Amino acid sequence: MKCRHCAEPLHHTFLDLGFAPPSNAYLAPAQLHQPERYYPLKLKVCGACWLVQTEDYARADELFAADYAYFSSTSSSWCAHAARYAEAIARRLGLDAQSLVIEVASNDGYLLKNFVAAGIPCLGIEPTASTADAAERLGIPVIREFFGEALAERLSGQGRQADLVVGNNVFAHVPDINDFTRGLKAALKPTGTLTLELPHLMRLIEQVQFDTVYHEHFSYLSLYSLQRIFAAAGLRVYDVEELPTHGGSLRVYGCHREDSRPESPSVTVLLQAEREAGLQRLDTYAAFQARADRVKDNLLRFLLDQKEAGRTVVAYGAAAKGNTLLNYAGVKPDLLPYVCDAAPSKQGLYLPGSHLPIRPPEALRAERPGLVLILPWNIAEEVAAQHAYIREWGGRFVTAVPSLEVF
């Protein structure tokens, strides 16, 4: 395999999680009796451009199907984050009724609904029918295609270049990252701004967030590797912010290479922090597997101890990261009988691989478990606050990443 960006041969393994089904391939009851498709889940790191990437096995159209079950609006904290961003960026860029905002991977309209409410024209690009339907019900126009250079050139030819192009948690999801980036450039007005939010590789390594590795994530990015990808497409980074979302993310501000806006000092500061964290040294990547295994082993030991003591542990949050963790650890319903999730689109289905049934949150009140393992640890505070009533019967919450915590 060669690097997705620079085409250098990939010789260095960062993480090997064995074989796993796609993390968002939830199963209907009838599918439990059918064969399940598994792919190798292994990360390589490019020693030339330092892009971390999955081995090529799964195709995007297999991972992002018409019935895709992830709806961004399920998380209230994420919706609040999107609303704050929309207000701030509209003010920063002076967006109004003559502007155009394009969001790539617009999902269910969680973000663009804020621009609709503000009277700012917008366009969503979203290939999954289930989420595109939800966005259109909010009055958001949606193009139901995978984004790339060809689609962006078509929009440009129609006079639909954007003052703002947004991509939240999509840059890591594209198999051809160079084509996608050239598309971002083609979709952007000469003086336009591009913002991307993406999980930061530095935080993944620092916090042992190996459960954020799944087939839908083709790339794992540092600012250094992203800057190189931008430059190859004629774009440049002019500002960057660190965000707490998803365990530590970046919000990158981009523009055309020839744009006159100065580069913020925050870019240089973060690049230096990445160098000091060892993101351009192979030994940093070689040491990660053992750290991930320790997290997995500690969770298994905890679940086995609780089972032996006769205490019930259930899970909360049918999240992709939880599926990676459970499948790597080999957890089945004998250790976790079910998982609760607030998304109606997931309730009544089963987790891929582990086959845990997904139940509505009301099951917690009905069955009064002693321990609730929060799989999406990035929203643990939100989940614990919403379900604080479990403490009425002495229940407690648990997270496994970056280390096992009972609270």
Q: How confident is the model at residue 24 (pLDDT cuts 50, 70, 90)?
A: confident
Sort strands 12-20 and 39-45 into parallel, antiparallel or unpaired: antiparallel
pLDDT of residue 56: 73
Angle of helix 223-232 versus helix 177-187 axis, rounded to 10? 60
Taken in order 375, 378, 381, 387, is the CA torsion positive or negative? negative
**Is the CB of residue 61 less than 8 Å from the CB of residue 15?**
no
The domain made up of 72-277 has a fold known as Rossmann fold (3.40.50)
Q: Where are the domains of the chain?
A: 72-277, 288-406
Q: What is the pLDDT of residues 228-259, one digit of tens each?
A: 999 999 999 999 999 998 889 999 999 999 99
Four-point Cα dihedral 19, 21, 23, 29, nearest 10: -150
Phi, psi for 301 (deg, rounded to 5): -60, -40
Higher pLDDT, 381 or 77: 381
Q: What is the pLDDT of residues 4-13, one digit of tens each?
A: 999 999 999 9
Q: How confident is the model at residue 117 (pLDDT cuts 50, 70, 90)?
A: very high
Least-confidence region, from 65-74, 99-108, 132-141, 200-209: 65-74
Q: How confident is the model at residue 333 (pLDDT cuts 50, 70, 90)?
A: very high
pLDDT of residue 64: 54
Q: What is the pLDDT of residues 175-208, one digit of tens each?
A: 999 999 999 999 999 999 999 999 999 999 999 9
Among residues 35, 346, 389, 366, the alpha carbon closest in space to that of 375 is found at: 346
Among residues 72, 78, 74, the alpha carbon closest in space to that of 245 is found at: 78
pLDDT of residue 57: 66
Which residues 6+ apart lie within 8 Å of 154 measured at CB? none
Do domains 72-277 and 288-406 share one topology? The answer is yes
pLDDT of residue 71: 79
**Is the CB of residue 396 less than 8 Å from the CB of residue 407?**
yes
**Is the CB of residue 376 less than 8 Å from the CB of residue 271?**
no
The C-alpha angle 215, 241, 221, rounded to 5 degrees, equals: 25
The mean predicted confidence, pLDDT, of the chain is 95
pLDDT of residue 294: 98
**Is the CB of residue 363 less than 8 Å from the CB of residue 386?**
no
Q: For residue 43, give the 3-state DSSP assignment.
A: strand
pLDDT at 89 over 80: yes
**Is the CB of residue 378 less than 8 Å from the CB of residue 245?**
yes
Token pair of 13, please? 């393994």
Among residues 324, 287, 363, 298, the alpha carbon closest in space to that of 13 is found at: 287
DSSP labels, 293-351:
HHHHHHHHHHHHHHHHHT--EEEE---HHHHHHHHHHT--TTT---EE-S-TTTTT-B-
Architecture in CATH of 288-406: 3-Layer(aba) Sandwich (3.40)
Q: What is the pLDDT of residues 25-80, one digit of tens each?
A: 999 999 999 999 999 999 999 999 999 999 876 555 555 555 555 677 777 888 99
pLDDT of residue 246: 85
